[in-house]
Amino acid sequence: MEDVFVARQPILDKNRNVHAYELLFRDGMANMMPQIEGDVATTTLLANTFVTIGMDTLCEGKKTFINFTQNLIEKHVPLLLPRETTVVEILEDVNPGPLLIDACQQISSAGYIIALDDFVYAPELEPLIDLADIIKFDFQLTPVAEIEAYLKRLPKGGLCLLAEKVETASDFEAAKAMGFELFQGYFFCKPEIVKGREIKGFQLNLIMLLAQINSYHFSIERVEAVISRDLGISYKLFKYANSVFFGRVSKISSVKQALTYLGEDETRRFVSLVAMSRLAEGKPDELLRMACVRGKFCELLGLHGKETRPSSEMFTLGLFSLIDAVTDQPMGVILGDLPLAEPLKQALIHAKGRLGGYLELMRSYETGRWDRVSRLSQALGLDGPKIPSFYLRACEWSDAAKKAI
């Protein structure tokens, strides 16, 4: 089996709930753009990729947006994937000739959802517009005035509008006002900083708890005493320790038994996740999910890279990378007086040092910047082909953890 690189990007609805994920696919680090034109072996690889990895692992039962070239569409490759979850994205550079239109008609008739990617209106696209269910507009490449002009040319009703590369809260609000229903971009994981806003008392307590649980002065006994007095955390602890992720046959029934079974590192993760979930109340669910993935992903990268920093610190690095968006406060304000190691602070606040390299690698993987992933993995002494397996394990772990908390 060739190396398979897959990252996911969330697609949110108006309420900032996850509607679907788009999968970014590459077939290896050496060749960043897979040569799949007309190659039966590679189309088979594409189909097998999602069977081997498991689409549920990456997309948790949500709709899955996948880009298909003209050649793959004309060869009816989308029909190899499940119609219930697959959204067929037609790239903007297609030539809408008879062969492509016929293939799209067959794909649509088979029950697949069709989306037109990076849409720019042209009369020759009318046959595809008639078949499309979703039209995607790139808010970074296309000025708002042009988008508004294109919208006037589209049929009224029946089409779902998707705004992609929505990077700020103002972009999100503008797209909603224009009638867009779905949104793709990282607007939801950036802080909406308001001048004069202070960190609330309960938030500060939770942030301090996060820092303390991940400091060197860790005590299972102290944690047991705190958890035993909190019925809500105790319940979540039992649920987490008994989750399918750990695959236990016999059930855990006491706080001490759960903490002993989980051990120091897993206990740190659990308390961190509970605290972060409380901090993130009122925020999009995907924000906490992404923080979980980042925490585990950074931890696994650090273990593989033989980092001298403790694994719990690498987990904190990934988890805390979104704490500014969770609290809507600048990273420097949040971390200023916390008892975190200085290299951790430098990475989170200033993106400096070796740990800053891990954060950049993580963000590059999320956005599918594979050339950057390759360079950073080499600089950090990581075996590039192993990185996708860490990302998938992080997604699996995040799914189990999110359900437990």
Ordered DSSP codes for 295-353: HHHHHHHHHHTT-SS-HHHHHHHHHHTTHHHHHTS-HHHHHTTS---HHHHHHHHH--H
Residue 371 within a domain: yes
- Kind and range of the H or E run holding 116: strand 113-116
Looking at the fold, whether 252 and 173 belong to one and the same domain comes out as no
Compute the distance between CA of residue 254 and CA of residue 258 in angstroms, rounded to an integer.
6
Residue 196 within a domain: no
Residue 195 within a domain: no
pLDDT in tens, 18-47: 999 998 776 555 444 444 343 443 354 455
Exposed, middle or buried by CB within 10 Å (0-12, 13-18, 19+), for 71?
A: middle
Residues in a beta bridge with 8: 23
Residue 380 within a domain: yes
What count of residues does the chain have?
Answer: 405
Compute the distance between CA of residue 102 and CA of residue 106 in angstroms, rounded to an integer.
6
CB-based contacts of 127, cutoff 8 Å, min separation 6: 96, 101
Q: Assign 3-state DSSP to the chain and report helix, strand, coil percentages, each to 5.
A: 55, 10, 35
CATH number (domain holding residue 93): 3.20.20.450
115 vs 59, 66, 120, 160, 294, CA distance in Å?
A: 18, 9, 13, 9, 29
Looking at the fold, whether 44 and 72 belong to one and the same domain comes out as yes
Residue 159 within a domain: yes
CB-based contacts of 4, cutoff 8 Å, min separation 6: 25, 26, 27, 28, 45, 49, 52, 53, 388
pLDDT of residue 156: 80
141, 165, 189 — which closes off a domain? 189
Looking at the fold, whether 35 and 126 belong to one and the same domain comes out as yes
Residue 235 CB-half CA count within 13 A: 5
Residue 217 within a domain: yes
189, 222, 255 — which closes off a domain? 189
Compute the distance between CA of residue 278 and CA of residue 51 in angstroms, rounded to an integer.
35
Looking at the fold, whether 176 and 223 belong to one and the same domain comes out as no
Burial 126-138 (b: 16+ CB within 10 A, else e): ebbbebbebbbbb
- Kind and range of the H or E run holding 98: helix 98-109
Residues of the chain with pLDDT under 50: 1-2, 30-42, 44-45
Report the domain count for the chain.
Answer: 2
Among candidate residues 287, 254, 258, the one with its CA nearest the CA of residue 270: 258
DSSP one-letter code for 177? H
pLDDT of residue 194: 61
Compute the distance between CA of residue 33 and CA of residue 370 in angstroms, rounded to an integer.
9
Neighbours of 79 (CB within 10 A): 16
Maximum Cα interatomic distance, the chain, rounded to a whole number of Å: 71
- Kind and range of the H or E run holding 259: helix 255-279
Compute the distance between CA of residue 195 and CA of residue 28 in angstroms, rounded to an integer.
45
Residue matched to tokens 């800053």: 356
Looking at the fold, whether 259 and 154 belong to one and the same domain comes out as no
Please name the amino acid found at residue 143.
Answer: P
Q: Which domain holds residue 256?
A: 201-404
pLDDT of residue 36: 39
Looking at the fold, whether 171 and 250 belong to one and the same domain comes out as no
pLDDT of residue 4: 60
pLDDT of residue 2: 47
Compute the distance between CA of residue 58 and CA of residue 50 in angstroms, rounded to an integer.
9
pLDDT of residue 27: 55
Looking at the fold, whether 148 and 207 belong to one and the same domain comes out as no
List, as own/partner pairs, every contact residues 242-249 make where C-beta atoms lie below 8 angstroms and the sequence separation is at least 24, other chains included: 243/400, 243/401, 243/403, 243/404, 244/400, 245/396, 245/397, 245/400, 245/401, 245/404
pLDDT of residue 45: 44
Please name the amino acid found at residue 152.
Answer: K
189, 220, 253 — which closes off a domain? 189
Compute the distance between CA of residue 51 and CA of residue 56 in angstroms, rounded to an integer.
10
**What radius of gyration, in Å, describes the C-alpha atoms of the chain?**
23
Residue matched to tokens 């961190």: 272
Residue 85 within a domain: yes
pLDDT of residue 87: 95
Compute the distance between CA of residue 296 and CA of residue 129 in angstroms, rounded to an integer.
41
